[in-house]
Structure formats: structure tokens, C-alpha cells
Copies of this chain bind each other. A is one copy, B any other.
């Protein structure tokens, strides 16, 4: 399938949530609570986003995460690629030796061009475009 994975979807939700209040240091528990994503999963994704430089973190008892750039400066493709790696609809888009039947392959398709089109489309979506919907429910779930 040509599909964005669940984890990446979650990452977008998490980033959108943090982006609502860019100056605040949001903690894992708070983010998990309000996005309704399981806490371990939330923590895992936050670590990855921080490692890739999309979030800056602070340790310690009053620690948390915040954006490194403004919500209008972060595009969907950055978030997607920070979780999934480079976007490549076909193996051969990545380079020569990723395709199993490379030597015998008889097709000559403009995959690279198509790939670029998709990337470009995803670049136009900024984090600031993603938080239009109000949060449905807050502070109702248990703290596990």
C-alpha cells in the first residue's frame, strides 16, 4: 500500500498538539493524555522527533518538549521523513542497488519525478495548517 504508517500519523498528531502552544514545555504524560495515544508510544515518538531536531527537549523534573521552529516553518514532509526515513515510493527511487530485479528490469518509469511531486505536495502542508480542529475531549482518561 502507498500509505503513511500509524506511528507517523501519531507523530503528526503529537506535533500538531505541541504546536498549539509553541512556547510551552509539554510533557509526555500531558501529550499522551490529550492526544489519546498510549504513553509508551508517545514517548517513543517524542524521542525520535527530538533526535531528528524537530523538537528540543529538557530533562529533569520540569522537563518536556517544545518545537525548535515555528509551526509555520515545519512541513508535513519533515515529520513524515523523521519517522519513516526518506520518502521513496519505489526501491529504485533510493538509488541503484535497492531493487531485487534491477539487472533484468525492463521498465523505465519516471519514479524519481513522481517521488518529487509527492514530496513537493507534502512540503506545502505546514504544521500551522494542522491544528484547525478543536480538541474533542480533555482530561478524561486515566493516567496509566
Chain A interface residues toward B at CB < 8 A: 1-6, 9-10, 12-13, 16-17, 34-37, 76, 80, 84-85, 87-91, 99-101, 103-110, 114, 117-118, 121-122, 125, 129-137
Contacts and interface: CB of A to CB of B under 8 A. Distances in A.
Contacts of A136: 103-106
A136 B108 CA distance: 13
Contact of A16 (B35, B106, B121): B106
A88 to B, nearest CB: 6
Contact of A12 (B2, B13, B109): B109
Contact of A125 (B76, B109, B134): B109
Contacts of A36: 101, 104
Contacts of A129: 108-110
A107 B130 contact: yes
B108 A132 contact: yes
Contacts of A80: 2
Given A1-B5, A2-B3, A90-B4, A130 B118 contact: no
Contacts of A135: 104, 106
A6 B109 contact: no
A104 B114 CA distance: 33
B118 A133 contact: no
Contact of A107 (B90, B104, B105, B131): B131
